[in-house]
């Protein structure tokens, strides 16, 4: 018998993630763009869509940059920020007023979890 003759049936199912605390949003980037690393996601455990709303803007969709880093190409410096995220199971969470207008790049903020 050769290795290529072996077959395995693998059964799996997703188990909801339980996390302590809220979803974490780490803000990095530069003056002309923002990168947001989204971590500590409960429920399905992965984000499929993300939006940001500044105190002077409407909701804007973020585009996935790499992994769970999401990017905005708008200048949001000096605005307090809200985030909305949708997980792969379709549930949506809104984290309101978690980022103050005087935030600095490199800071992490905690919002509502699923």
Higher pLDDT pick, 65 / 8: 65
For the stretch 49-88, pLDDT in tens is 999 999 999 999 999 998 889 999 888 989 999 999 998 8
- Range with the lowest mean pLDDT among 29-38, 41-50, 75-84? 41-50
Determine the pLDDT at residue 4.
Answer: 66
Summary count for the chain: helices (H), strands (E): 0, 8
In 3D, which of 37, 42, 41 has the Cα closest to residue 26? 37
Mean pLDDT of the chain, nearest integer: 87
């Amino acid at each position: 018998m050769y290795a290529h003759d072996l077959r395995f049936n693998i059964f799996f199912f997703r188990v909801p993630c339980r996390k302590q605390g809220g979803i974490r949003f780490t803000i990095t980037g530069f003056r002309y763009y923002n990168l947001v690393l989204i971590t500590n996601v409960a429920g399905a455990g992965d984000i499929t869509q993300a939006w940001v709303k500044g105190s002077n803007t409407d909701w804007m969709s973020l585009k996935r940059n790499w992994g769970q880093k999401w990017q905005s190409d708008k200048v949001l410096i000096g605005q307090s920020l809200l985030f909305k995220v949708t997980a792969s199971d379709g549930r949506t969470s809104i984290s309101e007023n978690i980022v103050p207008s005087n935030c600095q790049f490199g800071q992490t903020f905690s919002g509502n979890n699923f």
